[in-house]
């Protein structure tokens, strides 16, 4: 729920609130342990960072998520592919 609300705020350019909501969603999810949703939420936060212009934080978080997917043999997961696409967009913005 918080993750969806964060996405809505990001869509209207309210990045500060979007980041706060997404960080709250991640904190709650982390208390529940490692889940697929945690990776999805972190991908979403990285995307918000990227769209807000914080390319360094976006790069760091995308890299973390990609490494977790690779290390857990989940490269066929749809959200892994979405993370790779988002990371490619980031790399293009950096150049």
The pLDDT profile of the chain, 95 residues, written as one tens digit per residue, is 898 999 999 999 999 999 999 999 999 999 998 778 999 999 999 999 999 999 999 999 999 999 999 999 888 889 999 999 999 999 999 98
What 81-88 contacts at long range (C-beta under 8 Å, 24+ apart), as own/partner pairs, is 82/43, 83/39, 83/43, 83/46, 86/43, 86/46, 86/47, 86/50, 86/62, 87/59, 87/62, 87/63
Quote the pLDDT of residue 8.
94
């Amino acid at each position: 729920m918080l993750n969806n609300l964060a996405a809505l705020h990001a869509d209207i350019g309210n990045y500060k609130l979007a980041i706060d909501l997404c960080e709250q969603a991640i904190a709650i999810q982390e208390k529940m342990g490692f889940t697929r949703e945690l990776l999805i939420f972190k991908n979403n936060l990285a995307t918000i960072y990227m769209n807000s212009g914080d390319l360094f934080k976006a790069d760091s978080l995308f890299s973390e998520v990609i490494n977790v997917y690779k290390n857990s043999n989940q490269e066929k997961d749809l959200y892994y592919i979405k993370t790779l696409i988002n990371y490619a967009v980031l790399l293009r913005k950096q150049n």
